[in-house]
Structure 1
Amino acid sequence: MLEHALEQLGLTARETKLYQSLLKLGPASIRDIAEHAGINRGTTYESLKLLQAKGVVSYFPKGKRRFFTAENPEVLLSLAEEKRQKLDKTIDSLKSTIIPELIQQQPHFYHTDVRYYEGDDGIEWVLRDILNVVSKQDHKEYCVFSSKPIRPYLYRPFPNYTKQRVKLGINVKVIALGDGGEDAELSERKWIKTDGKTEASYIAIYPPKCAFISLASDNFPSAVVMESEDIAKAQKLIFDTLWKLL
């Protein structure tokens, strides 16, 4: 856990080991530090210079030799705060300037981005993507075609999906294929009656994306997510037209 935490601050595993050795030794020469850490002197010296540049180690001359000492561990918190401030500034720059500029560099033509997902982890990713995309839109609503056989497997990896959807203020319109389906908050539902068995299927329309979820053999869920403004608009038009007729 320590190595992982310090790695986030930019310290390598070797540098962490040297820093710990210095904490135990107190002011020490390169030779003593290298022996204690089990690292050769040349590598120790180069690593100590890097630690000094990062502000966690300092040195003082004693005769013709240099003695190194570890800074108080609280300096690590200062490093973390500094790193967080820089990261916050980077995030602000990404949102306000960098991402908009990069988007403008893209060719001005429509393309379809198709991605495949499998298993419970894949289905959870798709459900979270729906929430993420729709929550950023002015009109927080998406549309769904859903059949009864898919429902037991759909929310299995994300059982509190509906609560999260409601918390985000997202509305959903559902056209259920066959019987079943439960009323929920911020949800409207209509039905298409079917004769006999319906296949397991779920189509979510959340422009600019559409997600298609089905079950393979042994009820193994899989999904295809298509990102295309044109396709999503066409699917939304079909849904809205059918919705008015039901």
Structure 2
Amino acid sequence: MTTKAIAALRHLDLDERQVKTYLALLKLGPASIRDIAAESGINRGSTYETLKQLATKGVVSYFPKGKRRVFQAEDPDRLLNLAESKQQALKQAVDQLRSEIIPSLKQTQSPLSPGNVRFYEGDDGIELVLRDLLESTAKDPERGYSVISTKSLREHLYRPFPNFTRERIKRGIKVRVLAMGEGGDEAELAERKWLPAGTASDASYIAIYPPKVAMISLAAQNYPVVVIIDSAAIAYTQQLLFDTLWGLI
């Protein structure tokens, strides 16, 4: 079995020992604990506990043979049933989060929570901002969002999310860009104006998507540092400044 296939089984809440035990039993056919342990390379005590866990999940069964138990792997189709059950449970959890839990938690959240300002680092931080942009602005794609970016940061921006522009266009989200320095690709649903920039200008990217403002800069060795401010007042002020500058160019 390939590494990718084993990884897929791990997504079914089967740990490494359970996967090894199931594969060993599938290869052996009906077998004793001793034979399963030998095939999987797991000690007998752990093998027995693992077989009980797999039986609970419905992918292993057993039957008596004399004074011993003989175990057998259920048809691999059971794994699909396991995946579908997990998928259904996850969908129910997502629906409950959306309809009940998240609204309830938002009501108890303090408006002055320090969570209104969040810091992230690295490519993961950039990807989080880009995905947050899509999710937030998709509610009003016609309104879109506004961006101020420098030439020196643009080459790093979409590295962790290369399909961002394609996804933005697919969702019908508009963007206006004030680009500092030459360059920048033209794209659908995007308006771009340029500002002159000196050669020593620092790398930065500011996205305004009320009630949020996201700022990305590069530290030493082009390491991304990200700040997201969730404040309607700050976003309004930044949007006003952007609109004023946009109208003057």
Shorter chain as normaliser: what TM range? 0.7 to 0.9
Secondary structure of residue in 2 paired with 1:60: strand
The question of whether the paired residues in 1 share the 8 Å contact of 2:141 and 2:171 is answered with: no
| Matches of 1:110 and 1:130, distance apart in 2 | 21
**5+ long unaligned stretches in structure 2:** none
Deviates more, 1:236-245 or 1:97-106: 236-245
* 1:36-115 equivalences in 2 (<5 Å): 36-109=39-112, 111=114, 112-115=116-119
Sequence identity percentage? 56
**Match of 2:9, as an amino acid?**
L
Cα displacement (A) at 1:7: 2.1
* 1:15-30 equivalences in 2 (<5 Å): 15-30=18-33
**Match of 2:44, as an amino acid?**
R
Q: Please, what is the CA RMSD of the aligned residues? A: 3.1
Cα displacement (A) at 1:204: 1.5
1:48-94, Cα deviation, whole Å (9 max, x unpaired): 22221111111222333222222112211111111111112111111
The structure 2 residue matched to 1:209, chosen from 208, 212, 228, is: 212
- Compared with structure 1, are the counterparts of its residues 122 and 15 closer, same or farther at alpha carbon in structure 2 (3 Å cutoff)? closer
- Compared with structure 1, are the counterparts of its residues 205 and 4 closer, same or farther at alpha carbon in structure 2 (3 Å cutoff)? same
The question of whether the paired residues in 1 share the 8 Å contact of 2:148 and 2:207 is answered with: yes
Secondary structure of residue in 1 paired with 2:71: strand
The question of whether the paired residues in 1 share the 8 Å contact of 2:29 and 2:72 is answered with: yes
| Matches of 2:192 and 2:117, distance apart in 1 | 29
**Match of 1:56, as an amino acid?**
V
2:121 aligns with 117
Rg larger in structure: 1
Number of residues of Structure 1 aligned to a counterpart in Structure 2? 244
| Matches of 1:187 and 1:10, distance apart in 2 | 43
